[in-house]
């Protein structure tokens, strides 16, 4: 009978990713609980979003850990990273746009940590000679977020097959649209 906090968060994430303006009532119904109960666990909409942010950060850091982004060739590390992040992509897409709202406040330190780790990966790739140096690590990081968000939405709306998600993102991010010269 006690509410499954994790289940509530995941339902909320799924709903809010589709409809970021969903009501507390809709969120509650999506999780299969009453609005009163939702309120008992999350003081308000803000607290809910913060909890989702924490979840997103935790999943992202777990994904970076699981992908062992510090090890092996940088390109392979990027591929592992995208694969590991994929399950959290929709949540990240929601938080990515939601973050635009918190313009005044300082952003959660977790994002800074994640940005730094991803940037470090791209920098490592540059220093090893695998990645070009005229695209800054900061931009590559930003672009990764953008592609994850686009990919998540495209999958949600059926414009891209879910099974192609990681392939499309890693291939575009690493290789781009131009055909490689056959060597």
Partner DNA sequence: CCCATATGAGACATTGATGTCTCATTCGCT
Partner DNA sequence: AGCGAATGAGACATCAATGTCTCATATGGG
Question: Interface with a copy of itself includes 179 (CB under 8 A)?
Answer: yes
26 closest CA partner among 7, 99, 47, 16? 16
Neighbours of 55 (CB within 10 A): 19
State which of residues 20, 34, 54, 112 lies at the interface with a copy of itself (CB under 8 A): 20
Cβ(165)–Cβ(89) below 8 Å: yes
136 closest CA partner among 144, 176, 150? 144
State which of residues 7, 19, 20, 25 lies at the interface with DNA (CB under 7 A): 25
Which secondary-structure segment (H or E) carries 83?
Answer: helix 74-85
Cβ(167)–Cβ(161) below 8 Å: no
Question: Interface with a copy of itself includes 150 (CB under 8 A)?
Answer: yes
Cα 27–Cα 6–Cα 64 angle in degrees, nearest 5: 115
**Residue 43 binding partner per list DNA, a copy of itself, none, with a CB distance cut-off of 5 to 8 Å that depends on partner kind:** DNA
Binding mask 27-56 for DNA (x = CB under 7 A): -----xxxxxx-xxx-xxxx----------
> What is the contact surface with DNA in residues (CB under 7 A)?
1-3, 23-25, 32-37, 39-41, 43-46
Query: Applying CB under 8 A, which residues contact a copy of itself?
Result: 18-21, 75, 78, 97, 100-101, 103, 122, 125, 129-132, 134-136, 138-140, 142-143, 145-147, 149-151, 153-154, 159-160, 164, 167-168, 171-181, 183
């Amino acid at each position: 009978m006690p509410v499954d906090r994790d289940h509530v968060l995941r339902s909320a994430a799924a709903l809010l990713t589709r409809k970021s303006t969903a009501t507390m009532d809709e969120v509650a119904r999506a999780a299969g609980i009453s609005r009163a109960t939702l309120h008992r666990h999350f003081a308000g909409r803000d607290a809910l979003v913060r909890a989702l942010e924490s979840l997103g950060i935790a999943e992202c850091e777990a994904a970076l850990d699981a992908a062992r982004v510090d090890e092996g060739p940088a390109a392979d590390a990027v591929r592992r990273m995208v694969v590991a992040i994929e399950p959290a992509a929709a949540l990240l897409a929601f938080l990515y746009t939601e973050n635009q709202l918190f313009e005044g406040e300082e952003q959660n330190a977790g994002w800074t940590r994640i940005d730094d780790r991803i940037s470090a990966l791209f920098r490592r790739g540059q220093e090893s000679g695998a990645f070009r140096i005229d695209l800054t690590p900061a931009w590559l990081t930003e672009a990764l977020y953008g592609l994850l968000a686009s990919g998540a939405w495209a999958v949600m709306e059926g414009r891209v097959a879910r099974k192609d998600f990681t392939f499309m993102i890693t291939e575009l991010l690493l290789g781009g649209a131009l055909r490689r010269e056959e060597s």
